[in-house]
Amino acid sequence: MINNKETLMSFRAKLQKVIGSIQSSYSVQAVSSGMMMLLPVMMVGSIVAVLNSLNIESYQALLVATGLKSAFKVASVVTMNVISLYVVVAIAYKMAELHKKDGILAALMGLMAFLFITPMKTNGIAAIDLLYVGSRGMIVAMLVGLFATRFYIFLLNRKLTIKMPDSVPDFVSKSFSSLIPAFIIAVVFALINALVGLTEFDNVHNLIYSIIQVPLQGLGASLAAALLIVFLAEFLWFFGIHGSMATSAILYALFYPFDIANLEAFQAGQALPFIVTMTFINAQKGPRYLALSILLVRCKSQQMKSLGKIGFIPGCFGISEPYKFGLPMVLNPILFLPLIFAGTINVGLSYFATLIGIIPRVNGMPLPTAGTPEIIKGFMIGGWQMAIWHVVLLVVAMLVYFPFVRYMDRQKLSIEQAATEK
């Protein structure tokens, strides 16, 4: 038993070291934190999409009569339809911040580099083609945000700057110090754009879309990818590693563009293209901690019942830490199976329920992983059908956890009774 425990602790230490090194990567941190910065923009676009799409004839007539229909259309354009512009700015800013450089200037460099490789329509009026700055351009925006900023930082570190006297105000000095890097970045990305323009792809966006984004979409849109990412997150939690944080960069890079594509289709009144999205994975794991709360409150052991009462409100909002470290679920072999499989089973069931039309595809509305009330979360991403489905997922999660919680309850009750008799 001691050897098994020592082996488990040794494996945990090695796993934490590997995951820690991945999480400490500046690129991973920049993508994760940069994409999180977009939540306000995404929420504005999502709410506007919902308000604009309510299929009530009198309501739609009111929107047209008051001019709100046009206003909602503008709001959609400046949020969801140009989301890649926000992506490149946010990631470039965070990357520079991690390197202790000026984030605003880095964000401007990243945006400039992105625009250099983005096709523009020039039929009389120069205009950015929205095809390349919406969901389709997100992978390019992520890559440019990372590499253009890295290149900018490299140039700064090599002292390829204009040094101003100390008497010059700081903001002026920073601007001049970025002049040479800005010219070099402009030349490099203009050259890249020109060279790719000589190929069959015509532009960088088409190149990246063809060789990276399409294969990623094929991988990310699959049930296997969804189940793997859920399994991995919960497996890491068992060893005390924050699974959601560890997998966040994968979710944002691989699945977030699918949410944007679904939301764009939802706004346009078109069929939603993807089943598996980041919102789908996060939401369809279901209210499993609310399920656990309900079971714990009904336990006979005072310890487990008390923990259920303490964690009930957090559980209603999808917050699991009271149970992860209170029961505990971390390094607890009794709860290993339900920890791993409660969310995985719910995601699998949700996929097939969507595939056969029991529930709609998620509309792409971004929701915080924790903090949105369960059941209401389902209503927000898929209407009343999804809300009812989340009640079903609640029951499923209770069935998964029940035998293991019951076994632990008997153990704890036996210990409490033995202590009382003494």
Give yes or no for a contact between 186 and 112, defined as CB atoms under 8 angstroms apart. Answer: yes
- Quickly state the pLDDT bin for 172 (edges 50, 70, 90): low
Cα 287 to its chain centre, rounded Å, is 18
The more confident residue out of 52 and 117 is 117
Q: Poorest-confidence range of 58-72, 141-155, 236-250? A: 236-250
How high is the pLDDT of residue 75?
85
pLDDT beyond 70 at 9: no
Mean pLDDT of 361-379: 79
The greatest distance separating any two alpha carbons of the chain, rounded to the nearest whole angstrom, comes to 91
- Per residue in 271-321, pLDDT (tens digit) is 898 999 988 998 888 888 899 999 999 999 888 899 888 888 888 888 888
Write the burial class of residue 91 (CB in 10 Å: 0-12 exposed, 13-18 middle, 19+ buried): buried
How high is the pLDDT of residue 212?
78
The more confident residue out of 228 and 52 is 228
Task: Of 17-21, 147-151, 178-182, 367-371, give the range with the top mean pLDDT.
Answer: 147-151
The more confident residue out of 10 and 112 is 112
- Provide the mean pLDDT of the chain: 85
pLDDT beyond 50 at 209: yes
- Quickly state the pLDDT bin for 23 (edges 50, 70, 90): low
Cα 370 to its chain centre, rounded Å, is 12
pLDDT beyond 80 at 173: no
pLDDT beyond 60 at 2: no
Phi, psi values for residue 128, rounded to 5°: -75, 135
How high is the pLDDT of residue 140?
92
Which element (helix H / strand E) includes 75? helix 68-79
User: Which residues, listed in sequence order, are joined to residue 128 by a DSSP beta bridge?
Assistant: 120
pLDDT beyond 90 at 50: no
User: Which residues, listed in sequence order, are joined to residue 167 by a DSSP beta bridge?
Assistant: none
Q: Poorest-confidence range of 10-24, 43-57, 99-113, 177-191? A: 10-24
How high is the pLDDT of residue 379?
87
pLDDT over 70 percentage in the chain: 89
Mean pLDDT of 351-355: 94
pTM, rounded to two decimals: 0.77
How high is the pLDDT of residue 4?
62
Give yes or no for a contact between 96 and 105, defined as CB atoms under 8 angstroms apart. Answer: yes
- Quickly state the pLDDT bin for 325 (edges 50, 70, 90): confident
The more confident residue out of 408 and 162 is 408
pLDDT beyond 90 at 195: yes
Mean pLDDT of 194-202: 91
Q: Is 291 helix (H, G, I), strand (E, B) or coil?
A: helix
pLDDT beyond 80 at 165: no
The more confident residue out of 53 and 26 is 26
pLDDT beyond 60 at 57: yes
Contacts of 255 (CB under 8 A, 6+ apart): 220, 229, 276, 277, 278, 280, 281
Other C-beta atoms closer than 10 Å to the C-beta of 222 total: 14
CA angle (30, 36, 40) in 5-degree steps: 140
How high is the pLDDT of residue 333?
87
Pseudo-torsion of CA 46, 267, 386, 44, nearest 10°? 10
How high is the pLDDT of residue 147?
95
Mean pLDDT of 353-364: 91
How high is the pLDDT of residue 97?
93
pLDDT beyond 50 at 1: no
Phi, psi values for residue 418, rounded to 5°: -65, -40
CA atoms of 127 and 115, how far apart (whole Å): 11
pLDDT beyond 60 at 167: no
Cis previous bond, 373, omega within 30? no
The more confident residue out of 171 and 37 is 37
How high is the pLDDT of residue 16?
67
